[in-house]
Amino acid sequence: MMTLKVNGHDHQIDADPDTPLLYVLRDDIKLNAAKFGCGLGQCGACTVIVDGKAVFSCVTPLLLLEGKQVTTLEGLGTVDAPAPIQRAFIEEQAAQCGYCINGMMMRAQALLQRNSKPTDEQIRAELEPHLCRCGTHMRILRAVHRAAKLMDTAELSTGSAQ
């Protein structure tokens, strides 16, 4: 038994310590935003945020997560109250099949948390480990810029970061 902190909640997990985080999220906690793509940490579809940093959950065993805080896409916002990054992706219609979009949003979120005004170059460099074969790359770029603006506005109006 191990305690896993996901989206602010403690979960008691009964799994081998070498189980990939992705399996635990999807099978045990039923959080399905993170996707299984390649299982090798090469496509980015499984990306979640751990202590503020984007990680591939398919190659991150549970035993590395002792005491760490995991955030999944579900932890950012809901259908009714989407987070700025989610709103931006919807408004730019950045998803086609959508399989890669969880990863794109999670890594973009981690980027925006440490750099609120990334340049086009910085976004491209950051999202480089993520594969999208539908080809919505340009919309994804616009969505990340839009999210940066949304977060900026939100900060101005509420006086606090997300």
Does 40 help bind other proteins (rule: CB under 8 A)?
A: yes
Joined together, the tokens standing for residue 99 give 């399989």
User: What angle, 0 to 180 degrees and rounded to 10, lies between the N-to-C axes of helices 137-158 and 84-91?
Assistant: 140
Q: Does 41 bind other proteins (CB under 8 A)?
A: yes
Q: How far is the CB of 152 from other proteins (least distance, A)?
A: 21
Residues contacting 120, CB < 8 A, separation 6+:
141, 145
**78 contacts other proteins (rule: CB under 8 A):** no
Considering only 3, 53, 97, 161, the residue that binds other proteins (CB under 8 A) is 53
Q: How far apart are CA 79 and CA 146, in angstroms?
A: 18
Judged by CB, which is closer to other proteins: 44, or 84? 44
Give the nearest distance from C-beta 103 to other proteins in angstroms.
13
Binding residue (CB under 8 A) for other proteins from 4, 26, 35, 60: 60
Q: Which of 77, 82, 98, 129 binds other proteins (CB under 8 A)?
A: 129
Site for other proteins in 82-121 (CB under 8 A): 121
Tokens of 79: 């259908």
Min CB(10)–other proteins separation in Å: 20
Helix (H) or strand (E) holding 2: strand 2-6
| Residues shown for the chain | 162
State how far the Cα of 67 lies from the Cα of 51, in Å rounded to an integer.
10
> Is residue 15 involved in binding other proteins (CB under 8 A)?
no
Among 32, 64, 93, 161, binds other proteins (CB under 8 A): 64
Per CB under 8 A, residues contacting other proteins are: 17-18, 40-42, 50, 53-56, 59-64, 121-122, 124-125, 128-129
